[in-house]
Homo-oligomer: A and B are copies of this chain.
Amino acid sequence: MFRTHNCGELRAANIGEQVTLSGWVQRSRDKGGMLWVDLRDRWGVTQLSFEEGKTASQILDKARELGREFVIQATGEVIQRESMNDKMPTGEVEIFVSDLTILNSSHIPPFKIEDETDGGEDLRMKYRYLDLRRNPVREKLQLRHKMMRAVRDYLDQKEFIEVETPVLIKSTPEGARDFVVPSRLNKGEFYALPQSPQTFKQLLMVSGFDRYFQIVKCFRDEDLRADRQPEFTQIDCEMAFIEQEDILNLFEGMTKYLFKNVKGVEIEDFQRMEYADAMRLYGSDKPDIRFGMEFVELNDVAKEKGFKVFDEAELVVGIRVPGCASYTRKQLDGLTNFVKTPQVGAKGLVYVKCNEDGSFKSSVDKFFTQEQLAEWAKKSEAQPGDLLLVLSGDTGKVRNQMNVLRLKMGDELGLRKPEEYKPLWVVNFPLLEWDEESKRFHAMHHPFTSPKAEDIPLLDTNPGDVRANAYDLVINGVEIGGGSIRIHDKSTQALMFKHLGFTEEEAKEQFGFLMEAFEYGAPPHGGIAFGFDRLCAMFGGTESIRDYIAFPKNTSGRDVMIDAPSAVDDVQLQDLGIIKIEE
């Protein structure tokens, strides 16, 4: 037997017991004839002690050989520690070692295996298996495990059935970002890896499974931005005989359950916001509502007063930054420089200081009177001491810019508190979005997303105004999940295809067997999918999803630890019916 206890469980109550522990040498100190070794495993650290004269000399010699990260087994008596360490749960005791076995030696690790390490990102990725030894890294994956457990507990209670859908599926014409897999048994043909199990979950609804879920790997072969991974995990769900309201309630319940059971946090009922309001008030379909600073549209008070920049703009929009009228010239220049960076892309920034004495000081004093500025302040509900920041331009662009500025101001004022959680349902997304390149409408979500019944007449007149039964869950400005009620009847689907510019044949070719399945009694249904990596990162309080993936890939899609992808034997490729193109 390698151990009687783990390294995190011995307490004063165990004093006098003979125990055996196994683990890794965290550090050792040799001083005045005493030797102490900190022994570490997943559960904690326990101190081992040895004493010249008391400890058998061959044991002591062996203990003196121990290097960092050696794997050892130690047997001895639990004794009271002379100087208690109240920072560690085992800090009252130590093991006075009577027997010691070195189970394995270790090279000196390329970086420190401690909570704070000296290893750079690249080195830690190459030696990911060593980085995973560090508590903060391992704990993130333990959190992930706990999240998976809680998701499954909740959905099982709600009678969802977890069904594994295939990983080797069919490549679709629009699947430009599909990973493909050549088939040996069907030479010249390819499987694709799923970007999501969308088709299969809808088929399961046709099959009467009624409530399906899966925590499932999905794949996308695209240029990786900082926080994307070619393989990622979704909580994928679909329900039959439900309406949007049912889905929002059920998954609001799940999210609250997770906060309660994983973080011990009670969350209030989620706010709901129309997509159009989110864009108007926050310039984003994923607003961070932990703080206000909603947009104030100033067209009626700021335009046609002789300031050309505003007069030529489609939208003049401001935010009220509370208590910042005292910003210095330098601070204001900093903000102006910030909005001019490519990240924001504005041409300039207008500010209005609402002074404590009731007067106003602005960067456009030349064009606006105190009375006119007072109107801005009134419209913005600004108080003496507040600062107004104003941008102008094309509606879409200026909203984007103001969104970035608002988030920056939230950060500067410490209003985006890490331990505060404000989930939000953004609902009624547009059904269609105009694609300038192809000069036609595309489905914003996917072609099976249903339009609001009352908006269907608009399809012919104002397709861009048709709202969909589509919703996103946003937490603290991060999109965590999204879904829709699907179209289940033929006539609506035909209408949809017509407006997407598909002929019946094209639709059949592209969505073939799903369309066929729908001919055999498809129930009303809808669903949602959560980005599980991102959800874990949200719960863990860090930004990067990579930290929550045991063996992540870098931004070039490489696993630098195992060195994948890599070359493959030409003979093997030939066997698959393919050859490499010579560059």
The residues of B that contact A207 with a CB separation of less than 8 Å are 129-130, 132-133, 138
Q: Which residue of B lies closest to A103 (CB)?
A: B524
Compute how far the CA of A522 lies from the CA of B403 in the bound complex, rounded to whole angstroms. Answer: 50
Q: Does A166 contact B (CB under 8 A)?
A: yes
A residues 192-226 touching B (CB-CB < 8 Å): 192-193, 199-200, 203-204, 206-210, 217, 219, 221, 223-224
Q: Indicate whether A149 sits within 8 Å of B156 (C-beta atoms), given known contacts A164-B217, A188-B567, A550-B165.
A: yes
- Are B69 and A557 neighbours in the complex by a CB distance under 8 Å? no
Contact A186 B565 (CB under 8 A): yes
Q: Count residues of chain A with CB under 8 A from any CB of chain B.
A: 120
Contact between chains at A185 and B231 (CB < 8 Å): no
* Contact of B522 with A104 in the complex, beta carbons under 8 Å: yes
A41 to B206 alpha-carbon distance, docked (Å): 11
A109 interfacial contact with B, CB 8 Å: yes
Q: A578 CA to B577 CA in the complex, in Å?
A: 10
In angstroms, how far is the closest chain B Cβ from the Cβ of A568? 4
- Encoded as 1 (CB less than 8 Å from any B CB) or 0, chain A from 541 to 567 comes to 000000001110100111101111111
**At the interface with chain B, which of A176-184, A360-368, A475-483?**
A176-184
- Nearest-Cβ distance from residue A15 to partner chain B, whole angstroms: 24
A70 within 8 A of B: yes
Max chain B C-beta neighbours (<10 A), residue from A233, A513, A569? A513
Interface string of A521-552 (1 = CB under 8 A from B): 11110000000000000000000000001110
Query: Contacts of A107 on B, CB cut-off 8 Å?
Result: 519-520
* Contact surface of A with B, Cβ cutoff 8 Å: 1-3, 22-24, 40-42, 69-71, 103-107, 109, 127-130, 132-133, 138, 141-142, 144-145, 148-149, 152, 156, 161-171, 173, 176, 179-193, 199-200, 203-204, 206-210, 217, 219, 221, 223-224, 230-231, 233, 241-243, 246, 488-489, 512-513, 517, 519-524, 549-551, 553, 556-559, 561-569, 572-574, 576-581, 583
A-B CB contact pairs (8 Å), 30 listed: A1-B243, A24-B521, A69-B520, A103-B489, A103-B524, A106-B519, A106-B520, A107-B520, A109-B520, A127-B520, A129-B517, A129-B520, A132-B204, A132-B207, A133-B207, A141-B161, A145-B161, A167-B167, A168-B564, A176-B572, A180-B182, A180-B573, A181-B181, A183-B221, A183-B565, A186-B565, A188-B583, A199-B562, A513-B563, A579-B581
